[in-house]
């Protein structure tokens, strides 16, 4: 399914800085979805790791000019978890990955592919996935990282699905791991209240009971690259200009407008690609970016809030880790059952987005 019209854009030559000819309206950005083919892939188990330290809104009130009421009204967040200073993202990934393997009943030697997505990677190289491979003993796995901001985990899941469906892998471990607290400007009240640290992992393999992923929606629009950035020189990149102290920055209003429209259209497109409608969705598990975004998108798509998972109040936005965290909490609350039709959806910097519809194993 395709909706919207692609608006041309260009990138200038000499200094290779982006030059926007026209910022596309959210409704003009194409959203494409397609049914899965080949062997059905299912989520066999999941694991999470959340640091012990909790930073509540009351403590933030003493750090910056903000209030619990202001934060909750605009974001839905009441607290977030922070890793200890010096903690590596891959260390959180290892803990979540080990829990996911145990939950799935899968031995480390059975993993053919391991991927780690992160908005806060520890370094350009070596890949964090290789550190995870070493620590977990995934001796038969090939390993790489995915850099697609908050969409990274679902991009990984799409890759794993394609590899398993085509027979190039049988079992994969996909992980999102974040120490976002180290990229925040703790004097900026508009951003420091938003993010938290955590990791989440999924073990993915051939469906065992006829369930599995039924359809995908995948996309990106580089014209919107400047809405969510890292550092003051994002047109070149923090590494290129040797920014000594870059921080997360965002255009909140434009991001909100894009996210609400994109979430809703992904939901409609991915269910249609599976031959269903949003009325057939038992549980909507969106990326936990902002409670107002989730509620507005659900209303626009026609999904009742009692079918939506929201846990941003307890963790904040943990980027690539939000969906595994939400699945864990939904399962703990008795909201996930075999055969349930589950919609996963995310968006992130780039801008990037992904959604899939699956029958829960």
**Ranges of CATH 3.40.47.10 domains, the chain:** 2-11+22-30+212-359, 41-206
* Full-model pTM: 0.94
The 10s digit of each residue's pLDDT in 246-267 is: 999 999 999 999 999 999 999 9
- Residue 64: which pLDDT band, with cuts at 50, 70 and 90? very high
Catalytic pick among 130, 150, 192, 356:
150
Straight-line distance from the first to the last Cα atom of the chain, in angstroms, rounded to the nearest whole number? 26
Active site residue 81: no
Phi, psi of 191 (to 5 degrees): -120, -30
Query: Which architecture does CATH list for 41-206?
Result: 3-Layer(aba) Sandwich (3.40)
Q: How far apart are CA 360 and CA 19, in angstroms?
A: 44
Span 122-129, average pLDDT: 97
HEC sequence for 66-113:
CCHHHHHHHHCCCEEEECCCCCCHHHHHHHHHHHHHHHHCCCHHHCCE
Provide CATH code, domain 2-11+22-30+212-359: 3.40.47.10
Active site residue 150: yes
- Residue 209: which pLDDT band, with cuts at 50, 70 and 90? confident
The 10s digit of each residue's pLDDT in 211-260 is: 999 999 999 999 999 999 999 888 899 989 999 999 999 999 999 999 99
Chain mean pLDDT for the chain: 93
Q: Does pLDDT of 1 surpass 50? A: no
- Range with lowest mean pLDDT among 23-32, 176-185, 349-358: 23-32
Query: What pLDDT shows up at residue 22?
Result: 56
Query: What pLDDT shows up at residue 29?
Result: 85
Cis peptide before 351 (omega within 30 of 0): yes
Q: How far apart are CA 206 and CA 41, in angstroms?
A: 5
Catalytic pick among 49, 287, 311, 356:
287
Active site residue 317: yes
Query: What pLDDT shows up at residue 128?
Result: 98
Query: What pLDDT shows up at residue 24?
Result: 73
Q: What is the DSSP letter of 195?
A: B
Catalytic pick among 262, 290, 311, 317:
317
113-117 and 172-178 beta bridge pairing: parallel
DSSP strand E in the chain: where?
2-3, 10-11, 18-19, 31-35, 41-49, 53-56, 79-82, 113-117, 142-146, 172-178, 198-206, 212-220, 228-230, 248-250, 283-286, 341-348, 352-359
The 10s digit of each residue's pLDDT in 130-145 is: 999 999 999 999 999 9
Residue pair 173/72 in contact by the 8 Å Cβ criterion: no
Element (H, E) at 133: helix 128-136
């Amino acid at each position: 399914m395709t909706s919207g019209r692609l608006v041309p854009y260009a990138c200038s030559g000499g200094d290779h800085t982006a030059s926007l000819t026209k910022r596309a309206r959210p409704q003009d950005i194409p959203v494409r979805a397609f049914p899965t083919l080949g062997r059905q892939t299912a989520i066999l188990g999941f694991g999470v790791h959340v640091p012990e330290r909790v930073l509540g809104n009351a403590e933030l009130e003493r750090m910056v000019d903000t209030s619990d009421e202001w934060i909750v009204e605009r974001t839905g967040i009441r607290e977030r978890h922070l890793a200890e200073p010096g903690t590596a993202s891959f260390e959180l990934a290892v803990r979540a990955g080990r829990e996911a393997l145990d939950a799935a009943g899968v031995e480390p030697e059975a993993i053919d592919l391991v991927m780690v997505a992160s908005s806060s990677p520890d370094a350009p190289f070596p890949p964090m996935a290789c550190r995870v491979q070493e620590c977990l003993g995934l001796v038969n796995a090939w390993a790489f990282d995915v850099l697609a901001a908050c969409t990274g985990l679902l991009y990984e899941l799409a890759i794993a699905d394609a590899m398993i469906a085509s027979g190039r892998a049988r079992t994969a471990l996909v992980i999102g791991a974040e120490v976002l607290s180290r990229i925040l400007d703790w004097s900026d009240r508009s951003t420091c209240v938003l993010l938290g640290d955590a990791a989440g992992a999924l073990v993915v393999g051939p469906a065992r009971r006829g369930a599995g992923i039924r359809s995908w929606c995948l996309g990106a629009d580089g014209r919107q690259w400047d809405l969510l950035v890292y550092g003051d020189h994002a047109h070149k990149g923090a590494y290129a200009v040797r920014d000594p102290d870059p921080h997360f920055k965002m255009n909140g209003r434009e991001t909100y407008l894009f996210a609400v429209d994109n979430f809703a259209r992904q939901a409609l497109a991915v269910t249609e690609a599976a031959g269903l409608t949003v009325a057939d969705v038992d549980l909507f598990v969106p990326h936990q970016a902002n409670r107002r975004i989730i509620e507005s998108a659900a209303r626009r798509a026609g999904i009742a809030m009692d079918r939506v998972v929201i846990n941003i109040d307890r963790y904040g936005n943990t980027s690539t880790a939000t969906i595994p965290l939400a699945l864990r909490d939904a399962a703990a609350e008795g909201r996930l059952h075999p055969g349930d039709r589950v919609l996963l959806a995310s968006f992130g910097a780039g801008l990037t987005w992904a959604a899939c519809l699956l029958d829960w194993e």
